[in-house]
A and B are shown apart, each in its own frame.
Chain A
Amino acid sequence: MSVISSVRDFLDETGQISRFAGRFFSHGLKPKFEIKELLAQCYVIGYKSFPLVGLTGFIMGLVLTMQLRPSLVTYGVQSELPVMVGIAIVREIGPIITALIFAGKIASSIGAELGSMKVTEQIDSMEVSGTNPFKYLVATRVIATSLMLPLLTLLADAIALFGAYIGVNIKSVTNIKFFFIQVFESLSYSDIIPAVIKTVFFGFAVGIIGCYKGFNSTKGTQGVGRSANSAVVLSSVLIFVLDLLTVQLTNLLGFN
């Protein structure tokens, strides 16, 4: 019985989120645009996330290299270390780790911010002041997350590769120029472009889920906390689902 009802709740919520996302395309993208608020959100969402994303990117590249080395040494192919690490970072680890860190930081803050605005009637107050809250709050944030995550991912990739260079240098000596030439020669556009495009979808998911949870927050501190929390959980899961879908799609399109 409870299985049926939880399946129904799940489908119900999926439908509501789809409708919310649909509203973004049907209403949110129409003029007049809230350019000023969009730029402010890009600053908060993108620029302010950079130190965190950079740090995790660096550690990720470094640790990945240190972990991969012993196996490669076993097979006697440690000279391929930069190639292995480069492909792993650019194609998968960079986008997914950055997206998850981003979800943890941004989905929760959007969920909590809009949630508390909702329960203290600030959103209604905006509407009374001649402002469409969906355009002003939701559209700006969703566009900002969709634009900023790809940029952050590229930056994180670059920093992770630098971390990998340091990782390689722990046990052997490589010239930085030689390292990057080796990495980039093994990478093609079909490695980079699909990986960047999928982060647009990841960013969109983070923005939409954060805003949806905030807009549907229930009253009280607990309600707001729950929106923030479930925004992170749901957007993280959705990032993995989208990752699975995009890898299938790029396979079908013959990018691999």
Chain B
Amino acid sequence: METKPKTNEENEPAKSESVIVMKNLYKAFGDNQILEDFSLSVQREESVVVLGKSGAGKSVLIKCIIGLLTPDKGSIEVLGKEVTGLDEDGLAEARKKIGFLFQANAIYDSMTVRENLEFPLRRHWTDLDEPKVLKMVEEALENVGLAHTMDMMPAELSGGMLKRVALARTLILKPEIILYDEPTTGLDPITSKEIDQLILTLQKKLKTSSIVISHDMSCVKTIADRVVILLDGKCYADGTYEELESSEDPKINQFFQSLLV
């Protein structure tokens, strides 16, 4: 078992390896069928953007990957390991390598910014010493340009700052895979652009693979290596941004219309 967070540089694997493979996923809440035979795989160091209408099940999809929800049927392999049906310890082990940015930030509002960032660190790596933790927290906050907020409470921060704190908390473990749930929704265009750039920079720096959920087409254009469209519970389309943008299919086209206005 590993005891320290590793960066991916230490043992560089082949680039075309799949880090996430989802096969024939089904998920329903009562009569509400959300995912229906959904399949998708993500390669190492690739950023896949998932598009879909509100309520299509995008958040449900990535919650299945991290084990917050269990699919009714189908398999999910993360870094070569099946995650469906893992027990608590197995899931905790898998989650050390997966970062998750919640749609609503999910910052702990009873803790300071610093305690928020320390929480996943101390929980996942119980043997880190004090100076090391502090150094990692400082570094993570500097990455998002919020070093000065370290001892503030979340209530004192603006929405965009909270999003960036959430991002720092996600990245502090230096995960191999990051799942972003709408990283720029509800932010002004300038902050959005900053966050897009931040994601790109960190992605290159840490060599992560990611799934990004977004409604923000300029964000999609900046980040995506590949775009997939989640429609009626299936992976309806899959291609590069340019391929899908020039598609004749109205169901695909509607997602790109907003840019033309």
Q: Could you list which residues of chain A lie within 8 angstroms of chain B, going by C-beta atoms?
A: 113, 116-117, 120-122, 124-132
- Chain B residue at minimal CB-CB distance from A32: B126
CB closest chain-B residue, reference A119: B104
B120 interface neighbour in A116, A124, A129, Cβ under 8 Å? A129
* Segment at the interface with A among B9-17, B92-100, B135-143, B227-235: B92-100
The one of A120, A121, A132 that contacts B88, using a Cβ cutoff of 8 Å: A132
- B residues near A (Cβ < 8 Å) are 63, 66, 68, 88, 92, 95-96, 98, 100, 102-110, 119-120, 123-124
* Contact present for A124 and B123 (CB under 8 Å): no
Measured CA separation A131–B66 after assembly (Å): 14
Please indicate the chain B residues that have their CB under 8 angstroms from the CB of A121 in the complex. 102-104, 106
Which chain B residues lie closer than 8 Å to A126 at the CB level? 108, 119
Closest to B166 in A: A125
A124 lies within 8 A of B102 (CB): yes
Given that A130-B123, A131-B123 are contacting pairs, would A125 and B92 also be in contact in the complex, using a CB cutoff of 8 Å?
A: no
14 CB-based A-B contacts, threshold 8 Å:
A116-B109, A120-B105, A121-B102, A121-B106, A122-B106, A122-B107, A124-B63, A126-B108, A127-B68, A128-B68, A128-B95, A129-B124, A130-B92, A131-B119
Contact A128 to B66, CB < 8 A, known contacts A122-B106, A122-B108: yes
Residues of A with C-beta under 8 A to B109: 116, 120, 122
Q: Looking at the assembled complex, report how far the CB atom of B210 sits from the nearest CB atom of chain A, in whole angstroms.
A: 15
Cross-chain pair count, CB within 8 angstroms: 46
Q: Give every chain A residue within 8 A of B103 (Cβ-Cβ).
A: 121
Residues of chain B with a CB closer than 8 A to A127's CB: 68
Report the minimal beta-carbon distance from B115 to chain A, rounded to whole angstroms.
12
Residues in A neighbouring B120, C-beta threshold 8 A: 128-130
- Looking at the assembled complex, report how far the CB atom of A130 sits from the nearest CB atom of chain B, in whole angstroms: 4
Which residue of the partner chain B has the closest CB to A27? B88
B95 touches A124 (CB 8 A): no
A101 → B minimal CB distance (Å): 24
Complex CA–CA separation, A148 to B21 (angstroms): 49
Bound Cα distance from A209 to B165, whole angstroms? 33
- Give A130 to B100 CA distance when docked, in angstroms: 12
Q: Which residue of B lies closest to A125 (CB)?
A: B106
* Known contacts A129-B124, A130-B95: A124-B106 contact under CB 8 Å: yes
Q: Given A130-B96, A130-B124, A131-B123, answer yes or no on A124-B108 (Cβ-Cβ < 8 Å).
A: no
**Residues on B with beta carbons closer than 8 Å to the beta carbon of A113:** 110
Query: In the complex, what distance in Å separates the CA atom of A129 from the CA atom of B123?
Result: 6
Q: Provide the residues of chain B in CB contact with A122, threshold 8 Å.
A: 106-109
Complex: A127 Cα to B108 Cα, angstroms? 13
A121 to B109 Cα, complex, angstroms: 11
Q: How far is the CA of A116 from the CA of B107 in the complex (A)?
A: 12
Most buried by B among A116, A117, A125, A127: A125
| Minimum CB–CB distance for B133 against chain A, Å | 14
Q: A106: shortest Cβ distance to chain B, in Å?
A: 16
Q: How far is the CB of A42 from chain B (nearest CB, A)?
A: 16
Asked if residues A124 and B119 are in contact (CB atoms below 8 Å), the reply is no
Shortest C-beta distance, A174 to chain B (Å), equals 48
Residue of A nearest to B121 (CB): A129
CA distance A126 to B116 in the complex (A): 10
Give the residues in chain B near A116, CB-CB below 8 Å: 109
Bound complex: CA A116 to CA B102 (Å): 15
Known contacts A120-B104, A124-B68, A131-B119; 19 further A-B pairs (Cβ under 8 A): A117-B108, A120-B105, A120-B109, A121-B102, A121-B106, A122-B106, A122-B108, A122-B109, A125-B100, A125-B102, A125-B106, A125-B108, A127-B68, A128-B120, A129-B120, A129-B123, A130-B123, A130-B124, A132-B88
* B177–chain A nearest beta-carbon distance, Å: 12
With a CB–CB cut-off of 8 A, which chain B residues contact A129?
A: 95, 119-120, 123-124
Please report the C-alpha to C-alpha distance between residue A130 and residue B124 in the assembled complex, in whole angstroms: 6
Those 5 A-B pairs whose CB atoms lie nearest each other, nearest first? A125-B106, A129-B120, A121-B106, A130-B123, A130-B92
Contact residues in A for B95 (Cβ distance below 8 Å) = 128-130
* Residue of B88, B105, B106 with most chain A CB atoms under a 10 A cut-off: B106
> For B102, what are the chain A residues with a Cβ–Cβ distance below 8 Å?
121, 124-125
Give the chain B neighbours of A128 by CB distance below 8 A.
66, 68, 95, 98, 100, 120
Question: In the docked arrangement, what's the CA distance between A189 and B95, Å?
Answer: 53
Across-interface contacts of A124 in B (CB, < 8 A): 63, 68, 102, 106
Residues of A within 8 A of B110 (CB): 113
Q: Closest chain B residue to A136 by CB distance?
A: B123
Bound-state CA distance A38–B261 (Å) is 56
| Least distance between B142 CB and chain A CB atoms (Å) | 21
Alpha-carbon distance A122/B120, docked complex (angstroms): 12
Nearest-Cβ distance from residue B72 to partner chain A, whole angstroms: 19
